Amino acid sequence: MTEQSDATLALIAALPFIGALFPGLMIRVGRNACALSAGWATLSALILLMIHSTVIWRGEVVVYRIDWMPMLGLNANFRLDGLGLLFATMILGIGLLIILYARFYLSREDPMGQFYTYLMLFQGAMLGIVLSDNILMMVIFWELTSLSSFLLIGYWKHNRAGRQGARMALAVTGLGGLALIGGMLLLGNAAGSYDLSVILTKREEVLASPYFAPMLILILLGAFTKSAQFPFQFWLPHAMAAPTPVSAYLHSATMVKAGLFLMARLWPVFAGTDLWFYLVATTGLITMLIGAKIAIFKDDLKALLAYSTVSHLGLITMLLGFGTTAAATAAAFHIINHTIFKAALFMTAGIVDHEAHTRSIKRLGGLRVLMPITATLAIITSLSMAGLPFFNGFLSKELMLEEAAHTSWLGNPWLVPVLATLGGLFSAAYSFRYIGHVFLGPERKDYPSHPHDPPFGMWAAPALLAAMVVVIGVIPQAVVGGFLNVVADAITQEHLHLHKLKIWHGFTPALGMSAIATLGGLAVFYFFTPLERIWVATPKPDAKRMYDALVMFLHRNLGRISNNLHDGRLTKFLGIFGATTVALGLFAYVSGSHTPGTREMIAPTLVDYIGTILLIASTMAIMNYHRSRLLVLVLIGINGLIVSVIFVRLSAPDLAMTQVTVEVVTLILMLLALHFLPKHTPRESNWSRRSRDATIAGAAGLSVAALSWALMTRDFETISGYYLKHAKPDGGGTNVVNVILVDFRGYDTFGEIIVLGIAALLIFALEEALMDGRASRKLANWIHEMRYSKDRHPLMMVVATRMMMPTSLMVGVYIFLRGHNDPGGGFIAGLVVAIALLMQYMASGFAWASDRIQFPYHAFIGWGVLTAGITGIGAWFNGFPFLTSDFGYVHLPPIEEFELATAMAFDLGVFLTVVGAVMLAIYSLSRIARRTGESVNVSPMDYDPSTVDPFEEGHIRNVRTTGEER
C-alpha separations of 425 from 311, 330, 416, 860 in Å: 12, 19, 14, 72
CA–CA separation, 832 vs 828, rounded Å?
6
C-alpha separations of 342 from 365, 448, 481 in Å: 21, 26, 21
Distance of CA 24 to the CA centre of its chain: 22
**What is the 8-class DSSP label of residue 74?**
E
Specify the range with the lowest mean pLDDT, choosing from 71-85, 771-785, 811-825: 771-785
Res 952 pLDDT > 60: no
Specify the range with the lowest mean pLDDT, choosing from 124-128, 523-527, 682-686, 807-811: 682-686
Sign for the CA dihedral angle at 781, 783, 789, 795 comes to: negative
CA–CA separation, 10 vs 506, rounded Å?
47
Res 962 pLDDT > 50: no
pLDDT tens for 267-318 read: 999 998 999 999 999 999 999 999 999 999 999 999 999 999 999 999 999 9
pLDDT tens for 826-857 read: 889 999 998 888 888 778 877 777 777 777 88
3-state percent helix, strand, coil for the chain, nearest multiple of 5: 70, 5, 25
Burial profile 470-501: b = 16 or more Cβ within 10 angstroms, e = fewer: bebbeebeebbbebbbbbbbbbbeeebebeeb
Res 183 pLDDT > 60: yes
pLDDT score of 942: 35
pLDDT score of 788: 57
Average pLDDT score, the chain: 86
Question: Do 86 and 208 form a contact (C-beta atoms < 8 A)?
Answer: no
Res 234 pLDDT > 60: yes
pLDDT score of 624: 83
| DSSP string of 717-772, one letter each residue | --THHHHHHHHHHHHS-S-HHHHIIIIITHHHHHHHHHHHHHHHHHHHHHHHHHTS
Pairing assessment for the beta strands 61-69 and 3-5 based on DSSP bridges: parallel
Res 404 pLDDT > 90: yes
pLDDT score of 552: 87
Specify the range with the lowest mean pLDDT, choosing from 530-534, 826-830, 960-964: 960-964
Under the banding of pLDDT at 50, 70 and 90, the label for residue 353 is: very high
pLDDT score of 420: 94
pLDDT tens for 7-34 read: 889 999 999 999 999 998 888 888 899 9
pLDDT tens for 919-930 read: 888 777 777 766
Res 805 pLDDT > 90: no
C-alpha separations of 809 from 812, 813, 830 in Å: 5, 6, 10
Res 418 pLDDT > 90: yes
Where is pLDDT greater, at 116 or 689? Answer: 116
pLDDT score of 937: 34
Res 3 pLDDT > 80: no
pLDDT score of 176: 93
Report the helix count and the strand count for the chain, using DSSP H and E: 43, 5
- Please, which residues bridge with residue 61 across strands? 3
3-state secondary structure of 132: strand
Pairing assessment for the beta strands 61-69 and 74-80 based on DSSP bridges: antiparallel
pLDDT score of 726: 85
- Considering 133-147, 700-714, 933-947, the range whose residues carry the highest mean pLDDT is 133-147
Burial profile 358-396: b = 16 or more Cβ within 10 angstroms, e = fewer: bbebeebbbbbebbebbbbbbbbbbbbbbbbbebbbbbb
CA–CA separation, 366 vs 526, rounded Å?
17
Res 421 pLDDT > 50: yes
**What is the percent of the chain with per-residue pLDDT over 70, rounded to a whole number?**
93
Res 411 pLDDT > 60: yes
Question: Do 117 and 26 form a contact (C-beta atoms < 8 A)?
Answer: no
Q: What are phi and psi of 821, to 5 degrees?
A: -125, -15
Question: Do 150 and 173 form a contact (C-beta atoms < 8 A)?
Answer: no
- Work out the angle at residue 121's Cα, subtended by the Cα atoms of residues 116 and 125, and round it to the nearest 5 degrees: 145
Where is pLDDT greater, at 829 or 671? Answer: 829
pLDDT tens for 357-390 read: 999 999 998 899 899 999 999 999 999 999 999 9
Pairing assessment for the beta strands 887-890 and 74-80 based on DSSP bridges: unpaired
CA–CA separation, 459 vs 753, rounded Å?
55
Under the banding of pLDDT at 50, 70 and 90, the label for residue 958 is: very low
Where is pLDDT greater, at 90 or 161? Answer: 90
CA–CA separation, 334 vs 895, rounded Å?
79
- Work out the angle at residue 73's Cα, subtended by the Cα atoms of residues 70 and 77, and round it to the nearest 5 degrees: 80
Angle 456-474/372-386 helices, nearest 10 degrees? 40
Angle 902-934/826-844 helices, nearest 10 degrees? 20
CA–CA separation, 287 vs 228, rounded Å?
8
pLDDT score of 444: 85
Question: Do 40 and 19 form a contact (C-beta atoms < 8 A)?
Answer: yes
Rg of the chain over CA atoms, in angstroms?
Answer: 36
Mean pLDDT of 731-746: 86
69, with CB counted inside 10 A (0-12, 13-18, 19+), is exposed
Mean pLDDT of 145-156: 92
Q: Is 804 left (phi over 0), alpha (psi -120 to 50) or beta?
A: alpha
Mean pLDDT of 471-493: 91
Largest CA distance in the chain: 116
- Going by C-alpha positions, the residue among 420, 339, 436 that lies closest to residue 383 is 436
pLDDT score of 336: 95
pLDDT tens for 74-87 read: 788 999 999 999 99
Res 262 pLDDT > 50: yes
pLDDT tens for 85-104 read: 999 999 999 999 999 999 99
Specify the range with the lowest mean pLDDT, choosing from 209-213, 633-637, 757-761, 919-923: 919-923
Domain boundaries, the chain: 332-526, 598-684, 734-966
Angle 826-844/795-818 helices, nearest 10 degrees? 170
pLDDT score of 682: 75
Distance of CA 163 to the CA centre of its chain: 21
CA–CA separation, 1 vs 61, rounded Å?
7
Under the banding of pLDDT at 50, 70 and 90, the label for residue 934 is: very low
Res 660 pLDDT > 50: yes
Length of the chain: 966
CA–CA separation, 306 vs 291, rounded Å?
9
Pairing assessment for the beta strands 3-5 and 898-901 based on DSSP bridges: unpaired
Question: Do 327 and 316 form a contact (C-beta atoms < 8 A)?
Answer: no
Pairing assessment for the beta strands 898-901 and 887-890 based on DSSP bridges: antiparallel
pTM value is: 0.73
